[in-house]
Amino acid sequence: MEKIPILKMGKLLLVTIQVDLYDRLAEALEADLVQMINKTGAQGVLIDISAVSIIDSFMGRIIGNIATMSKILDAETVVVGMQPAVAITLIELGLPLTGVYSALNVEKGMSLLQGKINLKETGFIPEDDGDTE
Amino acid sequence: MKNETIKILQKQKKKILDMWMNFQLTDETLREDLMNNDELRMQSEDLVTALVDNLKDENIDTPDSPDFDSVTDILNGISISRAKQGYTSRETGIFVFSLKQALLVLLQQEIRDPQVLYDQSLKVNKLIDFFGVATFETFIKGREEVILRQTDEITEISTPVIQIWDGILALPIIGTLDSARTQVVMENLLQKIVETGSSIAILDISGVPAVDSLVAQHLIKTVSATRLMGAECIISGIRPEIAQTVVHLGIDLSGVITKASLASALKTAFGILQLQVTRKQKNPLIVE
Amino acid sequence: MTVVREIDVIPFRNRIKETAAKMGMGLVNQTKLITAASELARNMLKYAKGGKVLIEVISKGRENGIRLVFKDEGPGIPDIALAMKDGYSTGKSLGLGLPGTRRLVSEFNIETEIGKGTTVTIIKWKNG
């Protein structure tokens, strides 16, 4: 069975979804990621969905699950690179993915995550909401 | 009995044209500003030729017969081009129906027997009426095309996305927001966000005449979609009346950053981006 | 086209995408249609162990569109009004499937008979 690779980069886990997701693949990703967070003690998860052309309610739920589960395991999740058409469709579907952070691209996602992690470590509250350079 | 009308009409083609031109030129609604007489004559001649040459015993009662395809084609061409040139439907109507007048006058001159005259006139009448209706149909279609094109243009024109700063986009919305328009606005905005890598979008609604719950819903949708992409969305240009209606209608805008003016929205955006705008020192000599 | 396994969903989505792209449907509307189709296909797999989908191009006046007919022989839906409500689900999903799908397409029609099956017809106009 196909698998979506999860890369470890310092304190972060990086997932780039390059294929069209079907339900079982997404479920496997959810399980793998949670395992991986636990194993590596990662503090942030970055999911790049710029190559994903369809997100329906099931996939949306998986993304939400991943975010919630990571949160319990003390890791933040950022979804990056959502295509405009996908964003519009998700809103119309009634799925605003609340609780999931998003960023325009990997770079911005990284700095957003870094900001969140720093915040957690130092307790320092910066003035911005993090999605800036 | 052999149909006299066709023979008469085919023999007198020149006369029909002259008479028709005469009717058209004497009509007071003639638009010499839109088309000169030579052009009009050519158009008319084409039509008379196509009509008379294709007229046969079998088809005089059936205007939708394929024999008349060339006539319908010419008429379609004329009425569509007239619709685009700005002729009124009345002027186009007169163009076709004055042909009927010409034909009937001619028949009256040529046919002596009142019974035959009546029968033949009726046939010609029906034939031209059919073409008249067809002309109106295409005339309206021509107009509709103009309207559709304009609608597209208006949608395009009225949703410009402007980059006002590095990382900040502004989108002034003018006119009512319906769901079709919202989709265009959202698409343009999100596309531009991706293109420019902007992290803040300002939606200025000072040009929106009224905000009801539906419009508010569309705004909220746009804001949510922008956030999904990873950018922040500020709504500005909220007039006091709009603030009142929003509250009276019980619309919840609490999840949205709202500002009264574009200027204060821009200030907020600068704040988010941690940018500072300072006045240049007036007299550099004083500073050391 | 038959959808009986989960993996069938991918070629099925691609078929719709091809059809939509060929008629010049915009990317957003394409995405909405495919997402809607994906929702319905999942329902079909989950509650009826699969079914058949008919994909056709239709036109009304100057507007072209795509019609999808999802036909299954599953248990049927006991209360359509309830199933069409946001947030209602018998399975463990978000309950956005049917109502969300309806918001994504231009026309939506559902017919169901207990024990016989369910037919869902959706239409998405090219510019709608």
| Probe site for chain A from C35, C47, C89, C103 (most A CB atoms < 10 A) | C35
How large is the greatest C-alpha to C-alpha distance in chain C, in angstroms? 42
| Residue of chain B minimizing CA distance to C27 | B187
Which member of A96, A131, A132 has the closest CB to residue B224?
Answer: A96
Q: Residue B265: its pLDDT value, please?
A: 92
Is B243 part of a structural domain of the chain? yes
Do B230 and A82 lie within an 8 Å CB cutoff? yes
> Confidence class of residue C111 from pLDDT cuts 50, 70 and 90?
confident
Per-residue pLDDT of B236-250, as tens digits, reads 998 888 888 888 888
Q: Which of C116, C127, C10 lies closest to C62, judged by CA?
A: C127
What's the rounded mean pLDDT across residues B58-79? Answer: 78
Q: Are strands A6-9 and A12-16 parallel, antiparallel or unpaired?
A: antiparallel
Q: Residue B235: its pLDDT value, please?
A: 92
Q: Residue A78: its pLDDT value, please?
A: 92
**Using a CB-CB distance cutoff of 8 angstroms, which residues of chain A are in contact with residue B221?**
91-92
Q: Which residue pairs, CB below 8 angstroms and at least 24 apart, start in B76-82?
A: B76/B134, B76/B138, B78/B43, B78/B47, B78/B135, B79/B135, B79/B136, B79/B138, B79/B139, B79/B142, B80/B138, B80/B139, B80/B141, B80/B142, B80/B145, B81/B142, B82/B139, B82/B142
**Using a CB-CB distance cutoff of 8 angstroms, which residues of chain B are in contact with residue C26?**
187
Instruction: Tell whether B119 and B18 lie within a shared domain.
Output: yes
Q: Are B164 and B135 in contact (CB under 8 A)?
A: no
Mean pLDDT of chain B: 82
CB pairs under 8 A between B and C: 3
Smallest Cα distance from C89 to chain A, Å:
12
Kindly tell me the burial class for residue B173, based on how many C-beta atoms sit within 10 Å of its own C-beta (0-12, 13-18, 19 or more).
buried
Residue type, C37: A
Neighbours of chain A (3+ CB pairs under 8 A): B, C
Do B199 and A131 lie within an 8 Å CB cutoff? yes
**Using a CB-CB distance cutoff of 8 angstroms, which residues of chain C are in contact with residue A22?**
6-7, 9-10
Report the b/e string of A102-111 with b at 16+ CB within 10 A.
bbbebebbbb
- Pull the structure tokens for residue B269: 């955006």
Neighbours of chain B (3+ CB pairs under 8 A): A, C
Do C13 and A93 lie within an 8 Å CB cutoff? no
Smallest Cα distance from B73 to chain A, Å:
43
Taking CA atoms, A126 is separated from A112, A132, B198, B269, in Å, by 12, 11, 20, 16
Instruction: Tell whether B29 and B145 lie within a shared domain.
Output: yes
| Residue of chain C minimizing CA distance to B190 | C28
Smallest Cα distance from B194 to chain A, Å:
7
Per-residue pLDDT of B263-285, as tens digits, reads 999 999 999 888 888 888 776 66
Residue type, B216: A
| Residue of chain C minimizing CA distance to B181 | C128
Instruction: Tell whether B138 and B184 lie within a shared domain.
Output: no
Instruction: Tell whether B142 and B195 lie within a shared domain.
Output: no
The C residues from 75 to 94 touching A (CB cutoff 8 Å) are: 86, 93-94
CB pairs under 8 A between A and C: 68
The domain tally of chain B equals 2
Is B136 part of a structural domain of the chain? yes
Q: Which of A121, A88, C33, A60 lies closest to B229, judged by CA?
A: A88
Q: Residue C89: its pLDDT value, please?
A: 62
Indicate the domain borders of chain A.
6-122
SS (H, E, C) B196-222: HCCCEEEEEEEECCCCCHHHHHHHHHH
| Residue of chain C minimizing CA distance to B188 | C28
DSSP letter (8 states) at residue C3: E
Please tell me the distance from the alpha carbon of residue B200 to that of residue A103, in angstroms, as a whole number: 11
CB pairs under 8 A between A and B: 71
Is B280 part of a structural domain of the chain? no
Instruction: Tell whether B131 and B187 lie within a shared domain.
Output: no
Instruction: Tell whether B57 and B113 lie within a shared domain.
Output: yes
Q: A6-122, what's its fold?
A: Transcription Regulator spoIIAA (3.30.750)
Q: Which of A57, A65, A98, A30 lies closest to C89, judged by CA?
A: A57
Is B277 part of a structural domain of the chain? no
CA B140 to chain centre: 11
Instruction: Tell whether B8 and B108 lie within a shared domain.
Output: yes
Q: Residue A133: its pLDDT value, please?
A: 37
What's the rounded mean pLDDT across residues B142-152? Answer: 81
Residue B259 has pLDDT above 70, yes or no: yes
**Using a CB-CB distance cutoff of 8 angstroms, which residues of chain C are in contact with residue B183?**
28
Q: Which residue, chain included where needed, has tokens 């998003």? A: A102
Instruction: Tell whether B202 and B180 lie within a shared domain.
Output: yes
Q: Are strands C51-60 and C2-3 parallel, antiparallel or unpaired?
A: antiparallel
Instruction: Tell whether B148 and B16 lie within a shared domain.
Output: yes
Q: What's the domain range around B125?
A: 4-152
Q: In whole angstroms, how large is the CA radius of gyration of chain A?
A: 14
Q: Residue B278: its pLDDT value, please?
A: 85
What's the rounded mean pLDDT across residues A87-103? Answer: 86
Residue B163 has pLDDT above 80, yes or no: yes
Q: How many helices (H) and strands (E) does chain C have?
A: 4, 5
**Using a CB-CB distance cutoff of 8 angstroms, which residues of chain A are in contact with residue C6?**
22-24
Please tell me the distance from the alpha carbon of residue B75 to that of residue B83, in angstroms, as a whole number: 12
DSSP letter (8 states) at residue B171: E
Instruction: Tell whether B116 and B38 lie within a shared domain.
Output: yes
Residue type, C95: G
SS (H, E, C) C17-63: HHHHHHCCCCHHHHHHHHHHHHHHHHHHHHHHCCEEEEEEEEEECCE
Instruction: Tell whether B78 and B168 lie within a shared domain.
Output: no
Is B17 part of a structural domain of the chain? yes
Per-residue pLDDT of A7-34, as tens digits, reads 888 888 899 988 877 778 888 889 999 9
Please tell me the distance from the alpha carbon of residue B280 to that of residue B277, in angstroms, as a whole number: 9
Which member of A84, A87, A132 has the closest CB to residue B273?
Answer: A132
**CATH number of the domain that B136 lies in?**
1.10.490.130
Instruction: Tell whether B35 and B85 lie within a shared domain.
Output: yes
CA A49 to chain centre: 9
**Using a CB-CB distance cutoff of 8 angstroms, which residues of chain B are in contact with residue A90?**
225, 228
Residue C110 has pLDDT above 80, yes or no: yes
Per-residue pLDDT of B84-131, as tens digits, reads 777 777 777 888 888 888 888 888 888 878 888 888 888 888 888 888
Q: Are A115 and A92 in contact (CB under 8 A)?
A: no
- Pull the structure tokens for residue C111: 């017919």
Domains of chain C: 2-125 (3.30.565.10)
| Residue of chain C minimizing CA distance to A97 | C94
Q: In whole angstroms, how large is the CA radius of gyration of chain B?
A: 32
Please tell me the distance from the alpha carbon of residue B176 to that of residue B153, in angstroms, as a whole number: 16
- Pull the structure tokens for residue C110: 């559902």
Kindly tell me the burial class for residue B231, based on how many C-beta atoms sit within 10 Å of its own C-beta (0-12, 13-18, 19 or more).
buried
Please tell me the distance from the alpha carbon of residue C15 to that of residue B4, in angstroms, as a whole number: 62
Please, what is the Cα angle at B104 between B101 and B105, to 5 degrees?
Answer: 85
Residues of B with CB under 8 A from a CB of C: 183, 187
